[in-house]
């Protein structure tokens, strides 16, 4: 979006100057149409990229300038319908995570739903809800082999469904992840609801939740990127270069200029290329070396090998063409030599061989046609 803001500002300036130059003779709608179109175009770009929240903002700005524009109004309605649908999907995922005791994952899902649709009542209720827990008669439990939080809740409360209260009180991110010997605090669960959190207005509270959504989602993305990076390193060390490339590319999809990921994926491309080269898969090896060069322009060994790859590849095609030609298969020979010519028009005498193959192929075609004529 950053690259388009100067353009939008420029359009606004042009519109303003146009109004001054004409003495204000033009209508307000005319002056606003250019920046409105810029906002609309930016909204389309954001929507196509899947950034529906940003798209909504752009469409609303455009509609503010030209409120009677039916095309912009339709775009806004479309993207808001998409936001509602996506928010509900995130909320339902949060419900599933919550039911299985994955509280951190459920929080991220609820906040994601709220970011997509701030008026989602289900997400708001889940994030605001607190069951009153008093610690006046707090006890401790040491986890034994085979125990789960549900078993522990059944023991202390007579209700296995209270496992989520123990998990939340102990600030466990995942209720399914407890270890033998772990000390679990067992609180007394009070009745009723806690007092509402202090807030000047509902709007401020919603803003706080929206900010929390942005922070939590950013943290979740950072964690996922680290997971991709760790998986890439592990696969690179294990010699699974193709899989390592896939994982590092996921990192670069989020952080394109990440120096560590670029260095490691370049190493993976280079190692994979040499592996393919050893298996005589010359063309695939050349593609991997070229990918390495695209990431590391200073890789002169890669450039040297690419040149060798291309030389070997052309020689192989050329020789196969000769073999086909000698085997009286001019059309097959022609196919091989045409690839060589596309790579290097001046390679050996390939142009002459192509002409000979074409003539022989034409003559064979005439012979076949003559033989088929009664």
Q: Which helix (H) or strand (E) holds 189?
A: strand 183-189
Q: Are 94 and 109 in contact (CB under 8 A)?
A: yes
| 67/157 Cα distance (integer angstroms) | 59
pLDDT for the residue numbered 214: 53
pLDDT for the residue numbered 349: 81
Interhelix angle for 259-278 vs 202-238, to 10°? 30
Q: What is the DSSP string of 43-100?
A: HHHHHHTT-HHHHHHHHHHHHHH-TT-HHHHHHHHHHHHHHHHHHHHHHHHHHHHHHT
Say if strands 133-142 and 183-189 run parallel, antiparallel, or are unpaired: antiparallel
What confidence category does residue 162 fall into, taking pLDDT thresholds of 50, 70 and 90? confident
- Using the predicted structure, report yes or no on whether residue 294 has a pLDDT greater than 50: yes
C-alpha radius of gyration, the chain, whole number: 33
pLDDT for the residue numbered 74: 93
**Domains located in the chain, CATH noted:** 5-68 (no CATH), 130-195 (3.10.350.10), 220-372 (1.25.40.10)
Which residues on adjacent β-strands are paired with residue 14?
none
Distance from the Cα of residue 336 to its chain's centroid: 40
Nearest in space to 257 (alpha carbons), one of 215, 307, 295: 295
Which residues have C-beta within 8 Å of that of residue 160, sequence separation ≥ 6? 150, 151, 153, 154
Which range, of 107-116, 242-251, 290-299, averages the lowest pLDDT?
Answer: 290-299
Grouping H, G, I as helix, E, B as strand and the rest as coil, residue 305 is: helix
Nearest in space to 208 (alpha carbons), one of 122, 118, 85, 274: 118
| 140/119 Cα distance (integer angstroms) | 40
Q: In which region does residue 281 sit, left (phi positive, over 0), alpha (psi from -120 to 50) or beta (all else)?
A: beta
Residue owning tokens 């401790």: 140
Q: 314: which 2 tokens?
A: 């052309």
Which range, of 24-38, 98-112, 284-298, averages the lowest pLDDT?
Answer: 24-38
pLDDT for the residue numbered 20: 40
- Using the predicted structure, report yes or no on whether residue 315 has a pLDDT greater than 50: yes
- Using the predicted structure, report yes or no on whether residue 228 has a pLDDT greater than 70: yes
Q: Are 289 and 313 in contact (CB under 8 A)?
A: no
Read off the pLDDT of residues 359-371 as tens digits, 9 standing for 90 and up.
887 877 777 666 6
pLDDT for the residue numbered 301: 61
Measured from the Cβ of residue 261, the count of other Cβ atoms closer than 10 Å reads: 25
pLDDT for the residue numbered 4: 45
pLDDT for the residue numbered 29: 44
- Using the predicted structure, report yes or no on whether residue 262 has a pLDDT greater than 70: yes
Read off the pLDDT of residues 248-257 as tens digits, 9 standing for 90 and up.
888 887 677 7
Read off the pLDDT of residues 60-74 as tens digits, 9 standing for 90 and up.
888 877 888 899 899
pTM score of the predicted model: 0.39
Measured from the Cβ of residue 162, the count of other Cβ atoms closer than 10 Å reads: 18
Percent above pLDDT 90 for the chain = 4
| 70/67 Cα distance (integer angstroms) | 8
Read off the pLDDT of residues 118-131 as tens digits, 9 standing for 90 and up.
778 888 777 766 44
pLDDT for the residue numbered 192: 32
User: CA torsion angle for 347, 349, 350, 355 (degrees, to 10)?
Assistant: 150
- Using the predicted structure, report yes or no on whether residue 81 has a pLDDT greater than 60: yes
Stretch 303-314: mean pLDDT, rounded? 66
User: Average pLDDT of the chain?
Assistant: 74
What confidence category does residue 212 fall into, taking pLDDT thresholds of 50, 70 and 90? low
Distance from the Cα of residue 354 to its chain's centroid: 47
- Using the predicted structure, report yes or no on whether residue 186 has a pLDDT greater than 50: yes
pLDDT for the residue numbered 17: 39
| 210/215 Cα distance (integer angstroms) | 9
């Amino acid at each position: 979006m950053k690259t388009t803001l100067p353009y939008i500002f420029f359009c606004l300036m042009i519109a303003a100057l146009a109004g001054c130059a004409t003495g204000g003779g033009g209508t307000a709608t005319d002056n606003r149409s250019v920046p409105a179109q810029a906002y609309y175009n930016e909204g389309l770009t954001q929507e196509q990229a899947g950034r529906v929240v940003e798209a909504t903002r752009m469409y609303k700005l455009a509609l503010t300038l030209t409120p009677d524009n039916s095309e912009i109004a339709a775009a806004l309605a479309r993207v808001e319908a998409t936001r509602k649908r996506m928010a509900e999907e995130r909320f339902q995922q949060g419900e599933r995570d919550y039911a299985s005791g994955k509280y951190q994952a459920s929080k991220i899902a609820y906040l994601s739903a709220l970011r997509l649709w701030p008026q989602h009542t289900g997400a708001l209720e889940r994030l605001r809800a607190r069951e009153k827990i008093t610690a006046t008669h707090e006890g401790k439990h040491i986890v034994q082999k085979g125990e789960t939080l549900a078993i522990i809740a059944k023991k202390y409360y007579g209700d296995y469904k209270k496992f989520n209260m123990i998990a939340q009180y102990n600030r466990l991110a995942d209720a399914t992840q407890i270890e033998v010997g772990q000390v679990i605090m067992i609180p007394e669960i009070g009745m009723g609801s806690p007092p509402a959190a202090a807030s000047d207005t509902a709007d401020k509270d919603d803003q706080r939740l929206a900010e929390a959504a942005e922070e939590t989602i950013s943290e979740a993305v950072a964690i996922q990127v680290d997971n991709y990076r760790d998986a890439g390193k592990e696969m690179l060390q294990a010699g699974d270069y193709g899989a390592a490339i896939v994982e590092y590319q996921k990192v670069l999809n989020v952080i394109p200029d990440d120096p560590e990921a670029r260095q490691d994926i370049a190493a993976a491309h280079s190692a994979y290329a040499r592996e393919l080269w050893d298996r005589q898969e010359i063309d695939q090896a050349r593609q991997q070396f070229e990918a390495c060069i695209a990431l590391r322009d200073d890789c002169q060994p890669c450039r040297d090998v690419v040149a060798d790859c291309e030389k070997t590849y052309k020689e192989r095609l050329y020789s196969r063409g000769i073999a086909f030609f000698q085997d009286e298969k001019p059309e097959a020979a022609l196919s091989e030599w045409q690839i060589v010519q596309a790579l290097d028009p001046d390679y050996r005498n390939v142009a002459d061989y192509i002409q000979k193959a074409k003539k022989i192929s034409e003559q064979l075609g005439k012979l076949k046609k003559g033989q088929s004529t009664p």
